[in-house]
Amino acid sequence: FVGSSRFKVTTVATTHRDATDAVERSDAQVAIVVPPGFAELLRKGQTSPIQILVDGTNSNTALIALGYVGQIAGTFGQGYALDLAQRTGRALGRPLVNVKMEERYWYNQNLNSRWFFVPGVIGTLTLITIVNLTAFAIVREREIGTLEQLLVTPIQPFEFIIGKTLPFFFIGLIQVAIVAGIGMFWFDVPFKGNPLVLLLGTCLFLMSTLGIGLLISTLCKTQQQAFASNFFVLNPMFVLSGFSFPISSMPDVLQWLTYLDPLRYYLVIIRGAYIKGVGMHVLWPQMVALFVLGASLLTIAVLRFHKSLD
């Protein structure tokens, strides 16, 4: 596996628990567990089992990964059998070594593709809805001339921003709850985690989406400009999120850009809480990243909004 172009060895676990933790944290897509006595069975020319733990969250990726594991295991078994025959002088009428794979799909044993796509749709719809609502709402006020009228009142600019964005924050929460309910009861996608973990992750994600929408509104003067800006912002965010294309298969430059995409972190959170049932002990890095992105985007957007008023 070290010399394979299909796999990248992320860690070498010393215990079974370390291997399972790597899969749980999404640090590894596949974990290979070699049992005690594996080498001895090989030397005797007997069947040697290995356990393959596959993250079944993405059913397509899981099947492809397991297929490549089978190819590597088969090639290794044939090569070892040939070497053993040459060293012992025995004729190689059939493979003397058989590496038997005992695979286990975690989190999605039946590899249902909808278990992967439904949580992704929740995040994507939330991103599109909140960014569009926030951007258009403030641009519309500027376009029809009511923004200046509101700002000559005793309210402060930050109070205006809170008043405009807070309803969209609650709209986002309601939308996530509705779509998650549809996924559970209509598409039979089970929710295995803690709802509070998903709620916290959603709130942090909404901070980022509100910041993006507000930032777009400060850069645009008309709703047509806001629509075009949303198109050029949201499409790259969708592509870089890892929803359609695995981040690991992207060029290095694009992989670095994905760290600026809030949807990337939210998809890990929602799939972790939804399908894997993991908690804060696993998802805290994504939570911290979303908080930093959300706070930064909101700060930049508010400063830009003040500057545009001046």
State the DSSP string of the chain. Answer: -TT-SS-------SSHHHHHHHHHTTS-SEEEEPPTTHHHHHHTT-EEEEEEEEE-SSHHHHHHHHHHHHHHHHHHHHHHHHHHHHHHT---SS-S-EEEEEEEEES-TT--THHHHHHHHHHHHHHHHHHHHHHHHHHHHHHHTHHHHHHTSS--HHHHHHHHHHHHHHHHHHHHHHHHHHHHHTS-----S-HHHHHHHHHHHHHHHHHHHHHHHHH-SSHHHHHHHHHHHHHHHHHHTTSSS-GGGS-HHHHHHGGG-HHHHHHHHHHIIIII---HHHHHHHHHHHHHHHHHHHHHHHHHHHHHH-
What residues make up the domain containing 266? 114-309
If asked whether residues 134 and 51 sit together in one domain, one would say no
Domain final residue, candidates 89, 106, 123: 106
Domain final residue, candidates 67, 90, 106: 106
If asked whether residues 120 and 258 sit together in one domain, one would say yes
pLDDT at 127: 95
**Residue 261 placed within a domain:** yes
Domain final residue, candidates 83, 106, 129: 106
**Residue 296 placed within a domain:** yes
pLDDT at 153: 72
**Residue 4 placed within a domain:** no
If asked whether residues 58 and 164 sit together in one domain, one would say no
**Residue 185 placed within a domain:** yes
pLDDT at 308: 61
pLDDT at 113: 83
**Residue 1 placed within a domain:** no
pLDDT at 47: 75
pLDDT at 193: 86
pLDDT at 18: 84
CATH of the domain at 47: 3.40.1710.10
Question: What total number of domains does the chain contain?
Answer: 2
If asked whether residues 154 and 91 sit together in one domain, one would say no
If asked whether residues 35 and 97 sit together in one domain, one would say yes
| 10-residue stretch averages of pLDDT, the chain, 310 residues long | 71 82 82 81 75 83 82 74 66 58 82 86 94 88 74 72 88 95 89 92 95 88 87 92 84 92 94 87 93 92 72
**Residue 10 placed within a domain:** no
If asked whether residues 63 and 81 sit together in one domain, one would say yes
pLDDT at 33: 85
If asked whether residues 47 and 135 sit together in one domain, one would say no
**Residue 6 placed within a domain:** no
If asked whether residues 127 and 260 sit together in one domain, one would say yes
**Residue 119 placed within a domain:** yes
